[in-house]
Structure formats: C-alpha cells, structure tokens
Amino acid sequence: MESADGPHGRTWIRVVLVGDQPLFRDGVRLALQGADGLRVIAEASSRDQALELLFQQRIKADVILVDLQMADTSGVDITRTISERAVGGSSPALPRVIAIGAAPDDDSVVAVLRAGGRGYLLKNVAARELVWAIRIVADGGAVFSPPVAERLGAYFSAVHGIPAQAAFPELTNREREVLDLIARGMDNQRIASTLVLSNKTVRNHITSLFAKLRVTDRVAAAVRARDAGLG
C-alpha cells in the first residue's frame, strides 16, 4: 500500500468520501476524526467530481467510501468506474472502494462485488468498525457488515448448489475451511481464532489456495467460493 507520510514520518491511509448528501459526508468525517493513521484527503458530492479528483487532479487515495444512495447516479456505477480505471492504469494509485448502503438487499450487494468493490458496510456502522474496515481494505482485504455477509451467504447458497468439494478438488480440507471463512467476510485473525490456528498458518493456507484457484486477492477468492456454495 502506497500511503502518504504525515508528521514525523508517520504513515497515513488516505481516504476520499463520495456522496451527494452533506449529512453523509459530515457523519463519516466525524467518525474518522482522530482515528490513528487515517486522513480524509478529499470529498466529492457527485460522480463527475469524484472522477475529476481521482483521474484528472490525480488525487492519490488508498480507500474510497462511496454512498450507494446518490441522486445523480448509482454508487455501484461509481464503484465500477473507479475500479476499472484504476486497474487499467489510469490512476497513479490503486484506490479500493468500500460501498456504504442503507440496507443489504441482494441486488445491491452482488452488484457492488461485481463492480469491484472491496466491501459493503451499512450506514449504522460504528465508528470503530468503520476505522477497522478501512484498515483491512487498505491492506488488500475485504469487509462486509454482518447482515451483508449473511445475505451474501444465503444468496449464493440459493442460486448455486455445486458441492464445495466437487468445485475445488484441488484444495485440502483445511484450505476449503479457510476459503469458506473468507467467503463469510472473516479476516485472518478471526479465521485463526475460529479454526484454532496460528496467524502464520492461516496466511500459508491462504497463499496456497490463492495459487490453486489462480486468484490474487480475497475478493476474487470469496466470489469463487460463494459461486460454489461456500460462505
């Protein structure tokens, strides 16, 4: 992660807020105020303003928080555009998008994932959980509020009935267990606690299953897993 250096060489995670409601931006900014290692570096009140900041003014952001409920456009569309342009090399950095919505309806959750979003949080998320989520995503992880993770699991279980072992015969039983917990939105520490493993062992399993599934990050692994009925 390429982050800005603050006072005394301190490393910051650079956050951009995108939402057309001042109340949304004010609330998020207040929630992040004083958080160690985070800094809101810019705000945008529309899709065009967000894209101008990121791809014309070339603001270097690590994490972008996008309000899904915007009047002039869909937050999913903003997420898709940012993700596609970033991957295509139009941005000097690779910003990761966390969508923030009012309710975890299936269509929105799946649309955010397919658009390249790295997380989906509800608007009633606690400040400490928001800070934690930003840090996880900035480090390459993915995060979902518990109700969102539950809806994702129910959705993919309903539409995909392929047995997990048949879908991933190349994985060991332990790797399949780890993949299942990744699909539920758990980070490495929670996976280690759930399976009673060390963090290093969990990292080794994740590295191995990523190689076997030919994916490069947790989001892609989670999508593959949920397509197979895990999570």
Q: pLDDT by residue (tens digit) across 113-132? A: 878 888 899 999 999 999 99
Out of 10-24, 57-71, 75-89, 131-145, least confident range: 75-89
Given a cut of 60, is residue 93 above it in pLDDT?
no
In terms of DSSP bridges, do strands 63-67 and 13-18 run parallel, antiparallel, or are they unpaired? parallel
Which DSSP symbol is given to 7? G
For range 163-180, the mean pLDDT: 76
Nearest to 226 by CA among 140, 75, 133, 114: 114
Give the tokens for residue 56: 């014309």
Which DSSP symbol is given to 56? I
74 vs 66, residue with greater confidence: 66
Model's pTM, two decimal places?
0.64
Query: What SS3 state is found at 92?
Result: coil
pLDDT of residue 1: 46
Report how far Cα 91 is from the mean position of its chain's Cα atoms.
18
Residue ranges of domains in the chain, CATH in brackets: 7-151 (3.40.50.2300), 160-227 (1.10.10.10)
Confidence category of residue 227, pLDDT binned at 50, 70, 90:
confident
Confidence category of residue 102, pLDDT binned at 50, 70, 90:
confident
